[in-house]
């Protein structure tokens, strides 16, 4: 098994579908917890190598300007790290949703990304008959994607990028949930998906 895992079309479809389910759960959780209604956009899924991360974020996803990054470590059959990337404008839009709550911008982003990550990954691993545990999240602000830490290139095997858009009533909030996998987690995901495919 080489370093790069390629997913076949069927595997990608299956991954996409499971992600849809997981993500739907997450959006519902957000709505209920934050007491707001959000429309779910089908998450666009991309699997890339860590060396392409910065370029992908800048070019394909057009991430320019200041970004807020929330990180959490994950452990279990799926091990690694989740990153939630949100640009500062989306964050401000998000904060507007909770105007009058006297909340700090960072706190809100932390919460939303924590809910999204936990719910998405929780449901995702559930579908694959597994469990995932989380570390407390931390947040940092980057002036631009260029400042993204290079250690991601060294430490992780492959990155699953789930691009999402949450439309809260009139606010558009876009962000990327990145799952950085290590220790053969990506193979485990692929095998689990294949098990599901076989059963179909």
Partner 1 sequence: MAEKVVFNSVDLILDTIDHGIIILDGDLNILFWNKWLAFKTKIESEKIIGCNIFKKFPTINKKRLTRKIKTALLLNTPSFYTIDSQDYLIDIPLSKITDQLFESMQQNVTIVPYDIEKKIVCLYIYDTTSLCSANKRLEETLFELNEYKNTLEEKIESEVKKNIEKDKILHMQSKLVYMGEMIGSIAHQWRQPLNALGVNVQFLEDDYEDGLVDLAYLKDHNIKNMELINFMSNTIDEFRNFFIMDREKIAFDIKNVTTNIINIVLFRISSSNVKINFIGNSFSVVGYVNGFQQVILNLINNSLDVFDELSIENPKIDISFFQNEKEGIVEILDNGGGILETIMDRIFEPYFTTKEQGKGTGIGLYMSKMIIEDHMNGKIEVCNTEDGARFRIKLMRVKND
Partner 2 sequence: MKYLVVDDSKMAKKMVVKVLSSFLEEGDEIFEANNGLEGVNLYKDKKPDLVFMDLTMPIMDGFSATMEINRFDENAKVIAISADIQQKAVDRVMQRGALSFVQKPINEEKMRVILEEYVGVGIDG
Binding partner 2 by CB under 8 A: which of 4, 8, 17, 129? 17
Positions in 93-132 near partner 2 (CB under 8 A) = 127
* Smallest separation (angstroms) from partner 2 to the CB of 20: 4
- Binding map of partner 1 across residues 43-62, x = CB under 8 A, - = no contact: --------------------
Burial environment of residue 85 by CB neighbours within 10 A (0 to 12, 13 to 18, 19 or more): buried
Cross-strand bridge partners of residue 21: none
Residues 6+ apart with CB under 8 A from 145: 54, 57, 58, 63, 64, 67
Q: Which is nearer to partner 2, 18 or 179 (CB)?
A: 18
* Smallest separation (angstroms) from partner 2 to the CB of 73: 26
- Binding map of partner 1 across residues 126-145, x = CB under 8 A, - = no contact: --------x-xxx-------
Q: Phi and psi of 169, rounded to 5°?
A: 45, -100
Cross-strand bridge partners of residue 171: 168
Q: Are 153 and 53 in contact (CB under 8 A)?
A: yes
* Smallest separation (angstroms) from partner 1 to the CB of 97: 13
Positions in 27-46 near partner 1 (CB under 8 A) = 29, 32-34
Q: Are 110 and 139 in contact (CB under 8 A)?
A: yes
Q: Which is nearer to partner 1, 2 or 100 (CB)?
A: 100
Distance CA 153, CA 168 (A): 34
Residue 107 sits in the site that holds partner 1 (CB under 8 A) = yes
Could you tell which of partner 2, partner 1, none binds residue 119, using a CB distance below 5 to 8 A set by kind? partner 1
Residues 6+ apart with CB under 8 A from 40: 23, 24, 27, 166
* Smallest separation (angstroms) from partner 1 to the CB of 111: 7
Residue 40 sits in the site that holds partner 2 (CB under 8 A) = yes
Nearest to 123 by CA among 15, 190, 24: 24
Contacting residues toward partner 1, per CB under 8 A: 29, 32-34, 101-104, 106-107, 110-111, 114-115, 118-119, 122, 134, 136-138
């Amino acid at each position: 098994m080489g370093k790069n895992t390629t997913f076949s079309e069927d595997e990608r479809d299956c991954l996409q579908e499971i992600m849809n389910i997981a993500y739907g759960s997450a959006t519902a959780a957000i709505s209920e917890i934050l007491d707001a209604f959000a429309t779910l956009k089908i998450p666009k899924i991309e699997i890339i190598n860590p060396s392409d991360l910065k370029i992908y974020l800048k070019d394909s996803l057009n991430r320019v300007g200041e970004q807020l990054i929330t990180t959490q470590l994950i452990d279990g059959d799926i091990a690694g790290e989740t990153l939630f990337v949100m640009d500062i404008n989306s964050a401000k839009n998000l904060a507007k949703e909770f105007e009058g709550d006297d909340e700090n911008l960072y706190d809100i982003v932390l919460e939303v990304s924590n809910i999204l990550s936990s719910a998405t990954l929780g449901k995702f691993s559930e579908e694959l008959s597994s469990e995932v545990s989380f570390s407390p999240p931390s947040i940092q602000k980057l002036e631009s994607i260029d400042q993204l830490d290079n250690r991601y290139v060294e430490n992780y095997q492959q990155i699953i990028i789930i691009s999402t858009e949450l439309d809260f009533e009139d606010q558009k909030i876009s962000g990327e949930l990145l799952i950085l996998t290590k220790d053969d987690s990506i193979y485990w995901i692929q095998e689990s998906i294949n098990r599901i495919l076989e059963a179909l």
